[in-house]
Amino acid sequence: MDEREEVEKMRDRNGYTGDENERAMLQLKGKCVCPVCGEEIHEDNLPDKESVITENVYYWGGVVITTSFVGLLVDFWHEYTIGGVTLDSPHKLTAVVTCEFDGQGGCIGFEIKEIRAKR
């Protein structure tokens, strides 16, 4: 699949509006673009291994994930611009996350695969 086809696939999947090709290209280049407002998502907004695995999964205790890969849907708020300024209209998003575990409960990999509008 060439880059143009990948852009079209991403655009269709995320339901972009406005300048769709530009937004999809930004996401392909490693930047996270909000599917709701089209703004680049500041890293402070994004869920990370610490907040998802350590503070949510391990917090409850007694949880040992024994499979290698686990897919998660993680809800979070898009609250800040790339400059760190609070948005006028914060909104909820969902991150599609893949986690890798070592078979003894330790998380050894955490990757956000996609950002979606909250259903």
Span 17-39, pLDDT tens digits: 444 444 444 444 457 888 898 88
Instruction: Report whether pLDDT(1) > 80.
Output: no
Q: Is the CB of residue 20 less than 8 Å from the CB of residue 8? A: no
**For the whole model, what pTM was predicted?**
0.65
- Give pLDDT tens digits for 59-101: 766 777 878 898 999 999 998 877 778 888 889 999 999 999 8
**Arithmetic mean of pLDDT, 98-105:** 87
Eight-state DSSP code of residue 83: T
The answer to whether the beta carbons of residues 59 and 1 sit under 8 Å apart is no
**Which of 25, 18, 35 is closest to 2 using CA atoms?**
25
pLDDT of residue 9: 55
Average pLDDT, the chain: 76
Between residues 62 and 108, the one the model is more confident about: 108
Burial of 99: CB neighbours in 10 Å, binned 0-12, 13-18, 19+: buried
pLDDT at residue 14 tops 60: no
Q: What type of residue is 97?
A: V
More confident residue, 74 or 58: 74
Q: What is the DSSP string of 1-48?
A: --HHHHHHHHHHHHT--SSHHHHHHHHHTT--B-TTT-PBPPTTTS--
Is 77 or 42 the better-scoring residue by pLDDT? 77
**Contact predicate 97/71, CB 8 Å:** yes
Closest CA to 105 of 61, 71, 66: 66
